[in-house]
Amino acid sequence: MTEKRKLRSTQWFGTPDKYGFYARSWMRNQGTPPDMFDGRPVIGICNTWSELTPCNGHLRGLAEHVRRGVLVAGGLPLEFPVMSLGETLVRPTAMMYRNQVSMDVEETLRANPIDGVILLAGCDKTTPALLMGAASVDLPTILVSGGPMLNGRYRGKQLGSGTDVIRYAEALQTGKMTTSEFLDLEAGNSRSAGSCMTMGTASTMASLSEAMGIALVQNAATPAVDSRRAALAEAAGRRIVDLVKDDVRMSQIVTKAALENAIIVNGAIGGSTNAVVHLIALAGRLGVDLTLDDWDRLGREVPCLLNLMPSGQYLMEDFYYAGGLPALMREVLPLLNCEAMTVSGRTIAAQVETAECFDRDVIRTLDAPFKDQGGIAVLRGNLAPGGAVIKPSAASPALMKHRGRAVVFEDMKDFKARIDDPDLAIEATSVMVLKNGGPIGYPGMPEVGNLVLPRKLLEQGVTDMVRISDSRMSGTAFGTVVLHVAPEAAVGGPLALVRDGDMIELDVAARRLHLDISDAEMERRRAAWRPREPHFERGYGRMFIDNVLQADRGVDFGFLIGASGHPVPDKSA
Ligand code: FES
């Protein structure tokens, strides 16, 4: 071998005994020439390709470009699959399996002759799952996102994935659109390979990966089908070989400073509330202390600079043409930890300080932002002692301070059964409360928090109401929606104790969420509360509900927090 440092893969391929024979000989049945086992870095290409994950359906092709880059740089690329999560298909919710995928990644990396890894991800949960699993192994790592779809188009208009589906579904519900017209939207909504092209969770996590420096520059917005996405994949394949040679591990890139940069950038892009749980979980794997308070402290003053759905008007393709994330990050450089290192070998400041903006309507400036409040606001109070979150840039300014009467739904089944009941006692000033949408309650903490408004209020022209739940919301959604209430109703959190007619006070500026009942009444209700039967008796579901942490701790499993590194396990025989 040419490297001074002994690579972990040489403990498989580098010995002349029977163990080396096993490792090399069986690999050669794939046509691998013997000189590929000369001690060169072995690069895993961890692929979430699956036809069941349409947003990642093109990743087999992208992996070929990574492979070419690795070969050019003198590495040995070995692609492997891990469980994939398609947001639109997986039930009850892809979030329930994020931790399972992270375990798949972690154990596959550690158990195999891998020196460094390229993570190929796209659809919402695939990115945090891969990052979390890789963090617990801590090899040299680069994330390559699949990239967003081309802008949706329908009858001459832009069509944003998720965001416009919600809008048009409401139009269908109120008779402003026919079923035939609604179904016509389908093809225009998803007209190329890639992930949702709004600032949903996929685009958010791709952006934050670039902001943290664990992905190469322009990872966030380059469209999936743009040839520059393939070039980026090849560049990542070349670069990971250098990172292995220099032993630059993931924990040296995703530091507290990098995670803080991600929180600030999340505010500046109007990113998804889902990033809160994902980054807290990722930090936990890396041994970095990151809390909800960091989210509020760092995001409080960050304005939203990006005019992109669901907060704004444009889509990811427009963002890319306007200069992409580097152009946006240049604007917020005064707020960032400029010395944070990236996988490119440059600091984050060096990476973006010369980036140009080509469309100021898409990427605004700190002096003239798109919206004054971009960050995630963290609410606390007797209704959410462990915290709750709201995305001010997607909410209605008029509802940011609100006092209203609770209309309570015990779970989603109850909600679906009663929301369009003409006799439901609900008005525009009511506060809709959903229980049992949390990690254990649903289970899996699904994206149902942006409850659809009652038909009778939609018909009156009501477009937003305060909604509160222990569930999550799609990054593509919008509204004055309080999410991630902790502790959740299913474990007896105060949300479980709310009753129809209670008054609830929301004050985002004061970061307050208050249930207006006396402490004595709260205690009386708590004493009478009983848990529901668990959803699972066995299997992964049982493991999930027995081990999952609440939203304020990232919804990770308690036993997965931390890292076990990458020691080479002993061969059994
Ligand atoms: Fe896959 Fe939106 S459904 S990214």
Judge whether residue 31 has pLDDT over 80: yes
The CA distance from 481 to 485, in Å, is 11
Mean model confidence pLDDT for the chain: 95
How many angstroms is it from 500 CA to the middle of ligand 1? 35
The overall pTM is greater than 0.75:
yes
Q: What is the pLDDT of residue 3?
A: 44
For residue 399, is it within any domain?
Answer: yes
Q: What is the pLDDT of residue 384?
A: 98
* pLDDT > 70 in the chain, percent: 99
φ, ψ for residue 50 (rounded to 5)? -170, 140
| Strands in 58-156 per DSSP E | 76-81, 116-121, 141-145, 152-154
Beta bridge partners of 215: 143
DSSP state of 144: E
Pocket test for ligand 1, best of 159, 196, 205, 315 (most atoms within 8 A of CB): 196
Contact yes or no for 218/324 (Cβ under 8 A): yes
Contact yes or no for 220/203 (Cβ under 8 A): yes
Judge whether residue 5 has pLDDT over 80: no
User: Token digits for 370?
Assistant: 């798109």
For residue 381, is it within any domain?
Answer: yes
For residue 219, is it within any domain?
Answer: no
Ligand 1 closest atom vs CA 53: 1
Ligand 1 atom 3 nearest Cα: 87
The dihedral built from the CA positions of residue 186, 192, 196 and 202, taken in this order, carries a sign that is: positive
Q: Is the CB of 200 under 6 A from ligand 1?
A: yes
Average pLDDT over residues 470-485: 92
Contact yes or no for 379/482 (Cβ under 8 A): yes
Judge whether residue 573 has pLDDT over 70: no
Ligand 1 closest atom vs CA 203: 4
Contact yes or no for 67/75 (Cβ under 8 A): no
Q: Is the CB of 121 under 6 A from ligand 1?
A: no
For residue 32, is it within any domain?
Answer: no
- Tally the domains of the chain: 2
Contact yes or no for 292/280 (Cβ under 8 A): yes
User: Token digits for 516?
Assistant: 């207006």
The CA distance from 296 to 221, in Å, is 26
For residue 159, is it within any domain?
Answer: yes
User: Token digits for 81?
Assistant: 């699959």
Q: Is the CB of 203 under 6 A from ligand 1?
A: no
Judge whether residue 4 has pLDDT over 70: no
How many angstroms is it from 195 CA to the middle of ligand 1? 5
Contact yes or no for 222/235 (Cβ under 8 A): no
Q: Is the CB of 331 under 6 A from ligand 1?
A: no
**18: Cβ contacts below 8 Å, ≥ 6 apart:** none
Q: What is the pLDDT of residue 224?
A: 98
For residue 524, is it within any domain?
Answer: yes
Contact yes or no for 362/306 (Cβ under 8 A): yes
Residue 387, SS3 per DSSP: strand
Peptide bond just before 128 cis, omega within 30 deg: no
CA-closest candidate to residue 351, choices 359, 360, 342, 362: 342
DSSP state of 444: S
Find the CATH number of the domain harbouring 524.
3.50.30.80
Ligand 1 closest atom vs CA 87: 3
* Residue after which a domain boundary falls, among 172, 191, 210: 191
Q: What is the pLDDT of residue 1?
A: 41
The CA distance from 373 to 172, in Å, is 32
φ, ψ for residue 387 (rounded to 5)? 105, 160
Q: What is the pLDDT of residue 219?
A: 98
Ligand 1 atom 2 nearest Cα: 196
For residue 344, is it within any domain?
Answer: no
Structure confidence by residue, pLDDT tens digits, 324-345: 999 999 999 999 999 999 999 9
Contact yes or no for 497/435 (Cβ under 8 A): no
Q: What is the pLDDT of residue 155?
A: 87
Average pLDDT over residues 474-488: 92
How many angstroms is it from 202 CA to the middle of ligand 1? 6
Structure confidence by residue, pLDDT tens digits, 401-439: 999 999 999 999 999 999 999 999 999 999 999 999 999
For residue 515, is it within any domain?
Answer: yes
How many angstroms is it from 442 CA to the middle of ligand 1? 21
Q: Which domain holds residue 524?
A: 377-532
Pocket test for ligand 1, best of 124, 125, 197, 205 (most atoms within 8 A of CB): 124
Judge whether residue 497 has pLDDT over 60: yes
Structure confidence by residue, pLDDT tens digits, 109-163: 999 999 999 999 999 999 999 999 999 999 999 999 999 999 999 888 899 988 8
At residue 474 the predicted structure's pLDDT band, cuts being 50, 70 and 90, is confident
At residue 476 the predicted structure's pLDDT band, cuts being 50, 70 and 90, is confident
Q: How far is CA 521 from the centre of its chain?
A: 38
**129: Cβ contacts below 8 Å, ≥ 6 apart:** 85, 97, 98, 99, 101, 102, 105, 121
Contact yes or no for 316/308 (Cβ under 8 A): yes
* Residue after which a domain boundary falls, among 144, 174, 191: 191
Structure confidence by residue, pLDDT tens digits, 233-262: 999 999 999 999 999 999 999 999 999 999
Contact yes or no for 400/509 (Cβ under 8 A): yes
